[in-house]
Each structure stands twice: as C-alpha cells, then as structure tokens.
C-alpha cells in the first residue's frame, strides 16, 4: 500500500482506527489525523449541542503531553467551534482534570486528547459528558454513529464562538484532592515518595500534590515532554527504574502514573512492584476506614481483594459491573458508592471526580499508610494473597465473534449451579477463586481471566473454562 509518510511505520498498516465506547484511538499520521480529530470532535459537539438547552455551550479540552497533542488539539478545537461551542483549552492535564474542569465551568462536556498507555506513535480522543464522566454505551454509540454518518450541525458565522485558555486545571485538581481527604496525618508522616510520571500529563499535578502533602519527592520522568522514558503502561516489566530508585533512596513508596494519569501502580518500600490490583484495594480500605464502610463498585475482571476489604467493614457491599469506566460510575451513582474502580489501577473517588484518577489514588494510599502508621508491604501482607492468570484467545480461525453467544451459553449451562454473573460475558465465583470469560468489543478475541489462592488453581480454572467454551 502506498504511503505518504516519510518515516515508514510498519504498525500503521496493522492498526486501524480503533473506535469504541471509550473514544477513538489511532496511529498519528496514519489513522489518527487532523481530519479524523476534527470530525470526531464535530460529531461529539453536535451530540452535546442536541442535549444542551440554548445556543451557548462550553466544552473543556485537555491533552496529554505527547508531541502530537497540540496538533490534534487544534483540529479538535476547530471541530468543536464549527458546531458553535466555546472551547476552554486546558492545556496539558490529566484525564480526570478535564472532569473537574467541566464541573468548574458548568460545561456541556469535555474532550481529552490522549492514547492513554499506548506508545508515542498513538493518539486518541476520549469524550466526557456534562457530569464529567465517560458517556455510557448507548450515548457513546450515538456519538459514533454521528461520526460515521458525518452528521454534523455546523453553525453560521454569526453563531461561531471563541476559544480561551484556562491553565488552572492542575492547581484546582490538587485543591480538590486535598479537600476530599484529611491531609494532616500525611503531612505529619513526612513520607519520602518516588513518583514516575513517565513524562506524561500527570507530571505537574502529581508533583504539586505530593509537595502539598509534605512529602519528600524524588520525581523521575517528571518533564511533560511526551517522550516516554519507558513503555508507558504501568505494569511490572515497565517499572524497573521506579523499583530500583525506591530501594536506592529508601523511600516509603513508589508511584507510577500512566501518560494521561488516570491509572496508578505502586512499588512498596522494598522496591517491589505490588501489582495494579492493589491500588483500588488500598484506596478503598482507607475510604472504608474513615466512613465505616459503604457501597463500592468494581468491574467483573477486578480482583477479589475489594471484597476482602469490604468484608472488614460490616454492612459494606460490592457491586460487580460490566467492564468500562462508565459502568462502574453508573453503579456508584445509583448506590451512592463511596469509592470504586478497576483492577488496572483505576480508582474513582466521587468527592474528587467521576473519572479514574491517579492523584486521588495516591493521596488515599498515603492516607492509609499514615492512618495505620504502617508500610506498604505490611498493608499488602494484611490482605489475602491471590494469583491472577490472564489469557486471550483469537477467534478468527473458529468463526470469529459469531461463535461467542453459543460459547457463553455452554459455559453458563455447565456452571449453572455456581454463583454467576452474566452481565458482561460470564463470571463464575467459586469458594477459592473465580473465572471471567468475556468477548472483546473491538477485536475477534475472548479474554479469560482467573484468580485463585494459587497460580496452579488459577491455571486449572482457566483450563477447565477454556475446555468448556471450546477454546
């Protein structure tokens, strides 16, 4: 295929524009172009305008630090303005900051230019509605349909509005986190903290938060240049530098943000990566400790540790939702949940915002350490130990996505006498573990995740489920 790019990018031909409920994502200069950005923003803007009474509607626009951010931002801004939006340009901010600024400006919605943990070649756009949260599936589908149909409602020149800059996002976000927790015990503890911001959008606010919490900070990869110092997903193999620095510096904890600073991973005081699943468990523990319990929500693929934490506080409840931030938020809203999130290090703390937020998560983990006057490794030791096994299966050779309904049916029948949740694929809970079989929304694959008290048992669960499903 002919290409007009000057630097060949082999991945470009393999990666189509990914369109999903969480937004669009593609490779810059190949599938993610200014044209796509303007059109997706125009589709989103038209959808927002239809929901907003009156002519005047404001949209907050943020971006992560990647080098293509400004280019995509300008295109998205044009798309939004063409529909008649007043665009508030927030500059480089974390995804949750956009949620906070939507509230501040009483905006109709917001957009974040980010490809989250994808490498530097990628960029994308996430939409947030007027409540500052990811639109649920039905609303996201309406935006996607408008984008596909190029169904935009451009305004006449007399109705065009302007764009203006509001660079207070980072400061206001930090202020909101400090107001939502009790910062004094953390300040008194004077923790030494290593923060790895991967040169992403969380650099400025992350550092400012820790400073205002009285921490001694060792900030690595702390310039928001978008030149990611390591593969950006905050998982063990990418955080070896953080682990080394924590051990060398004798720090109390190490935190890693992803490029748009919605996810947080933790390294303990010995320099051991504890796993992303612990972020939500520890944050929830602190919230429950102070509130005495309450409702929480986590998606079906999230560790059972959240149930163990909730069990420490009588009267607490855990609702399991379909995978997707919007589903967790919907449950938190309907049950007045005190905290929720996802096992990938995504903590949603409603007093701050309705978006996964690494800043709120950092503050809550430090607050738990301060309240219990203990170390991260001791907190980890207080929770049951589980092994999680994650696998995926390509369906292209066995009939693609069409085989999924029958597959789920077989599994549901086989395990009909067990505790089951079929709201997103099938999850079955046993006394000593659980398995979740779930089709991807975007690719012809199914994911199979199991958690148990030992890796052997988790593997056994995966094996028996796969056999039953015909994988």
Contact residues: Mg ion, CB under 5 A: 116, 258, 260, 262
CA angle 151, 154, 159 (to 5 degrees): 155
Structure tokens at 346: 């995504």
Q: Which is nearer to Mg ion, 260 or 342 (CB)?
A: 260
Least Cβ distance, residue 335 to Mg ion (angstroms)? 25
| Helix, strand, coil shares, percent, the chain, to 5 | 40, 25, 35
Given a contact cutoff of 8 angstroms between Cβ atoms, the answer to whether 59 and 225 are in contact is no
The minimum distance between CB 212 and Mg ion, in angstroms, equals: 23
Q: 62 in helix, strand or coil? A: strand
Q: Which is nearer to Mg ion, 116 or 161 (CB)?
A: 116
Q: How far is the CB of 396 from Mg ion (least distance, A)?
A: 28
Q: What span, in angstroms and rounded, lies between the C-alpha atoms of 332 and 297?
A: 6
Quick check: 110 and 63 in contact, CB under 8 A? Answer: no
171 in Cβ contact with 208 (< 8 Å): yes
Of 262 and 342, CB closest to Mg ion: 262
The residue nearest Mg ion at its CB is 116
Q: Spell 120-150 as b/e; 16+ CB within 10 A means b.
A: bbbbbbbbbbbebbbbbbebbebbbebbeee
Nearest distance from residue 257's CB to Mg ion, in Å? Answer: 9
Nearer to Mg ion, 73 or 344 (CB): 344
Nearest CB to Mg ion, comparing residues 126 and 320 = 126
Minimum CB distance to Mg ion, residue 226 (Å): 14
Active site residue 116: yes
| Residue 94 beta carbon to Mg ion: minimum distance, rounded to whole angstroms | 9
Report in angstroms how near the CB of residue 116 gets to Mg ion at its nearest: 3
Which one, 258 or 269, has the nearer CB to Mg ion? 258
Question: 304 near 451, Cβ under 8 Å?
Answer: yes
Whether 299 and 323 have beta carbons less than 8 Å apart is answered as yes
* Backbone φ and ψ of 427, nearest 5°: -120, 135
Q: Are 306 and 318 in contact (CB under 8 A)?
A: yes
The conformational region for residue 348 under phi > 0 = left, psi -120 to 50 = alpha, else beta, is beta
Q: Please, which residue, 64 or 424, has the CB nearer to Mg ion?
A: 64
Q: Check 65, 116, 301, 331 and give the catalytic one.
A: 116
Contact yes or no for 343/302 (Cβ under 8 A): yes
Residue linked to tokens 């079929």: 422
> Residue 126: what are its φ and ψ, rounded to 5°?
-110, 140
Could you list the active site residues? Answer: 116
């Amino acid at each position: 295929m002919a290409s007009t790019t000057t630097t060949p990018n082999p991945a470009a031909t393999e990666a189509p524009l990914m369109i999903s409920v969480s937004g669009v994502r593609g490779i810059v200069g190949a599938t993610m172009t200014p044209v796509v950005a303007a059109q997706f923003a125009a589709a989103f803007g038209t959808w927002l305008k239809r929901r907003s009474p009156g002519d005047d509607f404001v949209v907050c626009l943020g971006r992560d630090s990647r080098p293509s951010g400004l280019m995509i931002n300008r295109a998205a801004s044009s798309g939004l303005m063409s529909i008649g939006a007043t665009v508030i340009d927030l500059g480089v901010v974390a995804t949750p900051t956009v949620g906070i600024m939507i509230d501040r400006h009483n905006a109709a919605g917001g957009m974040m230019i980010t490809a989250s943990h994808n490498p530097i070649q990628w960029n994308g756009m996430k939409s947030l509605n007027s409540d500052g949260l990811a639109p649920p599936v039905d609303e996201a589908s309406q935006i996607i349909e408008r984008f596909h149909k190029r169904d935009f409602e451009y305004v006449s020149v007399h109705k065009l509005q302007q764009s203006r800059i509001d660079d207070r996002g980072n400061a206001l976000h930090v202020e909101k986190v400090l107001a939502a927790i009790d910062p004094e015990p953390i300040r008194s503890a004077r923790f030494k903290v290593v923060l790895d911001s991967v040169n992403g959008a969380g650099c400025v606010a992350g550092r400012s938060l820790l400073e205002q919490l009285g921490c001694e900070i060792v900030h690595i990869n702390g310039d928001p240049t978008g030149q990611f110092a390591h593969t950006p997903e905050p998982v063990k193999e990418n955080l070896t530098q953080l682990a080394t620095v924590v051990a060398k510096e004798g720090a109390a904890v190490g935190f890693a943000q992803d490029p748009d600073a919605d996810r947080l991973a933790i390294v303990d005081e010995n320099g051991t990566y504890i796993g992303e699943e612990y972020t939500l468990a520890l944050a929830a523990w602190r919230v429950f400790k102070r509130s005495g319990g309450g409702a929480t929500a986590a998606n079906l693929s999230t560790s059972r540790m959240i149930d163990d934490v909730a069990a420490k506080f009588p009267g607490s409840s855990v609702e399991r939702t379909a995978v997707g931030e919007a589903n967790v938020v919907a449950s938190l809203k309907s049950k007045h949940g005190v905290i929720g999130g996802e096992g990938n290090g995504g903590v949603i703390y409603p007093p701050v915002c309705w978006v996964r937020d690494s800043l709120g998560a950092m503050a809550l983990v430090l607050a738990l350490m301060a309240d219990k006057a203990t170390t991260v490794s001791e907190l980890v030791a207080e929770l049951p130990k589980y092994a999680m096994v994650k696998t995926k299966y390509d369906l292209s050779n066995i009939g693609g996505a069409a085989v999924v309904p029958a597959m789920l049916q077989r599994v549901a029948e086989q395990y009909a006498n067990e505790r089951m949740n079929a709201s997103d694929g099938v999850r079955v809970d046993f006394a000593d573990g659980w398995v979740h079989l779930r089709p991807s929304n975007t690719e012809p694959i199914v994911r199979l995740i199991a958690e148990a008290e030992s890796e052997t048992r988790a593997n056994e669960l995966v094996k028996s489920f796969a056999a039953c499903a015909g994988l």
